[in-house]
Structure 1
Amino acid sequence: MSDASTPPVLPSHGRYAYSAITRRPVYDWPEGKRLALYLGVNLEHFAFGTGLGAELAPGGPQPDVLNYAWRDYGNRVGVWRMIELFDQLCLPTSVLVNSSIYAYCPEVMEAFRARGDEILGHGRTNSERQGILEEAGEKTLIEETTAVIRAAEGKAPKGWLGPWISQSHVTPDLLAEAGYTYLLDWCQDDQPIWFATRNNGRILSLPYPQELNDIPAIVARKDSASQFADMIIDQFDEMLEQSKAMPLVMGIALHPYIVGQPYRLRQLRRALAHIVAKRDEVWVTTAGAIAAHVAALPEGIIPGSRGA
């Protein structure tokens, strides 16, 4: 007979232990800054007439031309307007790329490569989820994605975001074993933390936004372009204030077929200009640079590290 006063032990992922953000060691980003900010630009390619895909309007029978064409606008038009904006504001980006993009529109990747932006793995296509695959199939998906990026960029990506934020019970293990050093799928914190992986390994979990993300905000909640821009500004101002006491990471997740629409782009420009105006107070960088900085810190500082 169980003791009713004993708290229940629930199933756990086993990747990290609880850690209150207000009770952790304090450290700095470069130049003594406390807020690190990165832009996560999702470059996604979708199968025609099958598979998954975000919807502007409820989809009809396949082929769902309306929603397929809306998503394709991002690769044909929206992404180029966004690159112009990033150039105007001198903003680096972390590009989360479906590997099928390289065959479909290599010009896009050439443009980001010319800018010197960071490239991360984002699966083969957002028409599929990796988390529903058997381990062998998921391992193949990661390997195929990595091989395409390595062949095009001359080096393998270090960071990963699963298509549709999809993970199985072994995804962090497979990523670490494939040479990835950090992942972005989890949104449980405002600081990077170490995840445990099998065989006594580990991989860094970097904060990735699900609130400050145009798919949940605009597609799911139906927030307006101006509301999304206001969210970015309010998040930035509040986190800049909070960062006086501790280091924080702020990510902004963007999709060209959503914020690349002209009326949304204008509002995005307003929000990013607000950030750039305070650039001296924040480390505007890439996800990979944040991960590298954290990995170089002494053990015992980051939750999940030895001695922490």
Structure 2
Amino acid sequence: MSEAETFRVQRATSDFRWPNGARIAVVFNLAYEAWSPGKAPGIGPMGNVLQPGFFDTNAHSWASYGAVRGIQRLTRIAAANGVKASIMVNAVLAETHPAVLAELHAAGHEIVAHSYGMDVIPVYFDEAGERANIRRTTDLIAGITGERPLGWISPRGTGSLISPRLLAEEGYVWFGDCNDDDLPAIIAASDAVDSPRIVAIPLTMDVNDLPHSIRYGNAPAALVEQFRAILDNAPRADDAPFMLDVTAHTHAFGRPAGAWAYDAMIKLALERDDIWIGTRMEIARHALAQGQMFKDQTT
């Protein structure tokens, strides 16, 4: 188990604004996920877990839909609306579906490293093992796209206590294994001038298809209405800036029953003039360019 480290954290002040002076930033994420060979999700659409030691073919088949159909449908919807998505990609997909990954990159979407597989969670590793997974994931994705990914989100958003330092040392610009804020923060391993920095971009869960519909059984239409309600009411209640993720998993809302909701939420955001829509990498660059808007908070 990794030991806790002390990081220098600079958080955004109330004066922080998104590009064009917007108070709300919306990121349209896609979770393009897969498990290591011989592995399957711990739970599938049937809801009940199999006895230990048995391979869950139902859950495995359900999760495989994302690579077979879901990613194509959701990226068609994003393209039709003129939106670039931040796409979380497990590196195993670079091995099993390299052409798809190459197409996603060529289309201009942001490719976000999402570990090797959904079962490969950084918190389980020691430092050497975690660094090896970061390098393996990075190299596999770069080998297909020709470009190293610069952003990282761990499976279930669960990095280790030392993930910020390791990712910064490996050249990552931002990571999303945090949900303690609704604005980006800038993290450094120490006060040293040459200490590597990384932008922490929260992974907000308020508009996410997997907990909303799979875990809690809500209809896709309810998520659209929740998104609408946030956009309508949050700015009236408080004038502080914030960001909001809209996340669709390719094996969940990548299906016809849910994909229309992703389309509807994109259209809701595009209709408003108080929202800036961008990728997570664009958020990171904006945060670094607005360094004067961040104050120290040691943690």
TM interval, shorter chain, is 0.7 to 0.9
In structure 2, the residue matched to 1:146 is 138
CA deviation after TM superposition for structure 1 residue 12, in Å: 7.9
In structure 2, the residue matched to 1:3 is none
Distance 1:54 1:186, change over 3 A: farther
Identity of aligned residues (%): 23
Quick check: 1:277 aligned with 2:266? no
Aligned ranges for residues 1-308 of structure 1 at < 5 Å? 14-15=6-7, 24-47=13-36, 49-50=38-39, 52-57=41-46, 58-61=48-51, 62-198=54-190, 200=192, 201=195, 202-241=197-236, 245-278=239-272, 280-299=273-292, 301-304=293-296
- TM-score, length of structure 1 as denominator length: 0.85
Contact 2:9/2:188 (<8 A) preserved: no
CA deviation after TM superposition for structure 1 residue 115, in Å: 1.7
Q: Which protein shows a greater Rg?
A: 1
What amino acid is the match of 2:97?
A: C
CA deviation after TM superposition for structure 1 residue 239, in Å: 4.2
CA deviation after TM superposition for structure 1 residue 179, in Å: 0.9
What amino acid is the match of 2:259?
A: L
Contact 2:78/2:263 (<8 A) preserved: no
Distance 1:37 1:237, change over 3 A: same
Give per-residue Cα distances to partners, 1:256-300, cap 9 Å, x unaligned. Answer: 11111211112232222212222x33211101001101101133x
Please, what is the CA RMSD of the aligned residues? 2.5
What amino acid is the match of 2:285?
A: A
Where do 5+ consecutive residues of structure 1 fail to align?
A: 1-10
Distance 1:242 1:89, change over 3 A: farther
> 2: distance between equivalents of 1:230 and 1:83?
22
Where do 5+ consecutive residues of structure 2 fail to align?
A: none
Contact 1:51/1:128 (<8 A) preserved: no
Contact 1:99/1:122 (<8 A) preserved: yes
> 2: distance between equivalents of 1:12 and 1:177?
17
Contact 2:207/2:227 (<8 A) preserved: yes
Give the SS at the match of 1:120. Answer: strand
Give the SS at the match of 1:68. Answer: helix
Matched residue count: 290
Give per-residue Cα distances to partners, 1:136-163, cap 9 Å, x unaligned. Answer: 0001000111112222222222111012
